[in-house]
Structure 1
Amino acid sequence: MVALAPPLTAPVDPVSALRRIAFLMERERAGSYRIEAFRKAAATVSALPAGELQARHTAGTLGELAGIGKATAGVIGEALDGELPAYLKSLQEGSGAAPLASGGEELYAALTGDCHSHSNWSDGGSPIEEMVLSAVETDHDWLVLTDHSPQLRVANGLTAERLTKQIAIVDAITASLGGAFTLLKGIEVDILDDGSLDQTPAMLDKLDLVVASVHSKLKMNAAPMTKRMVTAVRSPRVNVLGHCTGRLVTGSRGTRPQSAFDARAVFEACAESGTAVEINSRPERCDPPDELIRLADEMGCLFSIDSDAHAPGQLDMKSYGCERATRLGIDPDRIVTTWDVDRLRDWARPA
């Protein structure tokens, strides 16, 4: 069951300290430049020959390594000296000590996975392996990797060829973990103007789960937007309707109003086809709004509480979605992210 990462204590490995600092900074949406400094430092240290890091620390030359600055050198040095780095300690005692949202803790503990996550294959900030390691460290049983589809060029969407390569890597990672954790093959596929999907049917059939989202022409008139979304969610290849209104309520990208569509018609199609309505937990999205979650609930829809994580620390953002689902009285058994991986697979790709 999903849980907060347990705090690290001294002595701590320098790479573990750097990784955890980056994770906790991502969790609180710190500046990407600062986070990347710790991620790069961890990669630099991991690549060093045995003994070199300690030798450089003793000689005072850690700062000569590429990607190691004053702050990261300080963390490395404290870890090598057997201390819990002060910066890590302050983060763990601060934002890292409690759930991101107050309320929904019981539901958060009942989650088993996440249907919506990104890696640096598209617009995420970390390699697939780092996303998996962080999911394991936070007690996820499974995670669906859902990088973007080709049309979303600004997000480095995956062509069929790149997706084929990624599928092989995902299968290899899961096989290497021997059943302890499952990384599922997925995609966040764009819903095109006519409701078709931005990837070939043959490729979509190779995936375990498909999240379908609207990313373009968000100001489309209500009637064609409704038809577009209904067509998509009725596709047997679509499992989750991602961030359905497209709104932005805060954050560095500014705000954006929700798209106009007949929510009743869309949710009716979701309920009839077994497509889950995503409760997107990113604070800047908070999508759908409360009144639409209530409507989807009234109409018998399934839900998926997802982080839409673009960095490892953002996996914890599901806490925000759990608070909303709990406050709005959503039955946990209708939330697919509380299901075990076998039940999820049977729902997503029935025989």
Structure 2
Amino acid sequence: MDAVAALNEIAFWLERELAPSFKVSAFRSAAAIVAEIPANELAGRVADGSLQKTKGIGSRTFEVVSQAVEGGVPDYLADLRERGATPLVSGGADLLAALRGDLHSHSEWSDGGSPVALMAGTARSLGREYLALTDHSPSLRVAHGLSAERLEKQLALVADVDSRHDDFRLLAGIEVDILEDGTLDQSDAMLERLDIVVASVHSKLRADSATMTERMLGGIRDPHTTVLGHCTGRLVSGSRGTRPPSDFDAEVVFAACAENDVAVEINSRPERQDPPDDLIRLALGAGCLFSIDTDAHAPGQLDFLSYGAERAHAAGVPADRIITTWPVDDLLDWARR
């Protein structure tokens, strides 16, 4: 088995299991190191032990490389594959099968951990027909949000990665902050060039209901907005602790989403589960469209769509109301309305 592929696949399964980032990083880093070693040299460096002395190669990653070089599937990977054969959830299988794409993902350009090409390649390998790259906008400094200049450079990379596939589309996008005054945190000129704009609130989440409602309405009514991201901002578990949902007038917000043709995101991250179930049903009754997205910050998290599909199914959301079930051309025609 190819050693680099083995190391990267191990990282994928660990990310899918929400393993600690340091453990995932060890395998991603080792894969990058091994990828720089010519294939005709790798076996020799394994045999003489020099690979194990290389900075960034630990005992576990050396074992994986050794077993891969010998031609077999490394034991550690085989164990992860066996664990991964069990679905993440038990419900929503038919809806999951209907999903064609994912409109919310992050790369190493902001607060994700992997290159754009790896995120796209993983989505394609999972059977997705399209993925929108939506790194953060500039005001979210803690997440290394993209200035207009950096976004300009990223657009060229997205176009290059997209051109490498005939059966998969990498869409240009952004997760743009809805600022306190309701405006979007990027210039109109740059937003015009994007396929997908996910608008989200990331700051002052404890504002009073009237303030938060007006702020969200500003973002929803901006003609560039495609999707309202993780609308309550809540956290129900995870390393960042928990956070209650923001307080806003959900009936008014969802009515605005329906009126302005903005999809409500069903965020599939297990620590978010956003919106809560009652708000999904409220948005459904308001006539909203939905977008089931992973908000993936690593390749393995791109498999989280199953969490969102299960919740959408339980809430009775029909597939045709979910824009990520649509063919990419139909999606883009709608988004460019």
TM-score interval (norm. to shorter):
over 0.9
| Secondary structure of 1:144's aligned partner | strand
| Secondary structure of 1:220's aligned partner | coil
Corresponding position: 1:76 with 2:76: no
Kindly state the Cα deviation for residue 66 of structure 1 after the two structures are TM-superposed.
2.6
RMSD (CA atoms): 0.8
The one-letter code matched in structure 2 to 1:109 is: A
Kindly state the Cα deviation for residue 329 of structure 1 after the two structures are TM-superposed.
0.8
Kindly state the Cα deviation for residue 139 of structure 1 after the two structures are TM-superposed.
1.0
Select 1:162's aligned residue among 112, 134, 150: 150
Please give the alpha-carbon distance, in whole angstroms, between the structure 1 residues aligned to 2:53 and 2:40: 16
For 1:183-198, list aligned pairs within 5 A.
183-198=170-185
Please give the alpha-carbon distance, in whole angstroms, between the structure 1 residues aligned to 2:245 and 2:289: 21
Select 1:100's aligned residue among 88, 91, 108: 88
Corresponding residue of 1:250: 237
Select 2:137's aligned residue among 149, 157, 167: 149
Select 2:47's aligned residue among 48, 53, 58: 58
The one-letter code matched in structure 1 to 2:126 is: T
Kindly state the Cα deviation for residue 50 of structure 1 after the two structures are TM-superposed.
3.1
For 1:125-274, list aligned pairs within 5 A.
125-177=113-165, 179-274=166-261
User: Unmatched 5+ residue regions in structure 2?
Assistant: none
Please give the alpha-carbon distance, in whole angstroms, between the structure 2 residues aligned to 1:187 and 1:237: 11
The one-letter code matched in structure 2 to 1:274 is: D
8 Å Cα contact 1:150-1:199 kept in structure 2: yes
Please give the alpha-carbon distance, in whole angstroms, between the structure 1 residues aligned to 2:303 and 2:234: 21
| Secondary structure of 1:316's aligned partner | helix
| Secondary structure of 2:291's aligned partner | strand
Kindly state the Cα deviation for residue 109 of structure 1 after the two structures are TM-superposed.
1.2
Please give the alpha-carbon distance, in whole angstroms, between the structure 2 residues aligned to 1:61 and 1:86: 22
> C-alpha offsets along residues 68-126 of structure 1, whole Å, 9 cap, x if unaligned?
110000001111111211100111111x1022111011111111110000000000010
> C-alpha offsets along residues 258-302 of structure 1, whole Å, 9 cap, x if unaligned?
111000000000001110000001111100000000000001100
Corresponding residue of 2:35: 46
| Larger CA deviation: 133-142 vs 181-190 | 133-142
| Secondary structure of 1:64's aligned partner | coil
Kindly state the Cα deviation for residue 62 of structure 1 after the two structures are TM-superposed.
1.8
Q: TM-score, normalised by structure 2?
A: 0.99
> C-alpha offsets along residues 178-219 of structure 1, whole Å, 9 cap, x if unaligned?
x22110000000000111000000000010010000000001
| Secondary structure of 2:103's aligned partner | strand
Please give the alpha-carbon distance, in whole angstroms, between the structure 2 residues aligned to 1:37 and 1:119: 18
Please give the alpha-carbon distance, in whole angstroms, between the structure 2 residues aligned to 1:14 and 1:50: 10
Corresponding residue of 1:326: 313
The one-letter code matched in structure 2 to 1:84 is: V
The one-letter code matched in structure 2 to 1:290 is: D
The one-letter code matched in structure 1 to 2:265 is: E
Corresponding residue of 1:290: 277
Please give the alpha-carbon distance, in whole angstroms, between the structure 1 residues aligned to 2:153 and 2:272: 31
Corresponding residue of 1:8: none
Kindly state the Cα deviation for residue 176 of structure 1 after the two structures are TM-superposed.
2.2
| Secondary structure of 2:52's aligned partner | helix
8 Å Cα contact 1:247-1:256 kept in structure 2: yes
Please give the alpha-carbon distance, in whole angstroms, between the structure 1 residues aligned to 2:98 and 2:86: 17
Kindly state the Cα deviation for residue 49 of structure 1 after the two structures are TM-superposed.
2.0
8 Å Cα contact 2:221-2:256 kept in structure 1: yes
Corresponding position: 1:342 with 2:333: no
Corresponding residue of 2:286: 299
What is the percent sequence identity of the aligned residues?
60
| Secondary structure of 2:239's aligned partner | coil
8 Å Cα contact 1:99-1:105 kept in structure 2: no
Please give the alpha-carbon distance, in whole angstroms, between the structure 2 residues aligned to 1:58 and 1:234: 63
Kindly state the Cα deviation for residue 61 of structure 1 after the two structures are TM-superposed.
2.1
How many residues were matched structurally?
337
Please give the alpha-carbon distance, in whole angstroms, between the structure 1 residues aligned to 2:3 and 2:145: 34
| Larger CA deviation: 29-38 vs 130-139 | 130-139
Kindly state the Cα deviation for residue 60 of structure 1 after the two structures are TM-superposed.
2.4
| Secondary structure of 1:210's aligned partner | strand
Select 2:5's aligned residue among 12, 16, 32: 16
Corresponding residue of 2:104: 116
Please give the alpha-carbon distance, in whole angstroms, between the structure 1 residues aligned to 2:252 and 2:218: 11
Please give the alpha-carbon distance, in whole angstroms, between the structure 1 residues aligned to 2:10 and 2:208: 45
Q: TM-score, normalised by structure 1?
A: 0.95
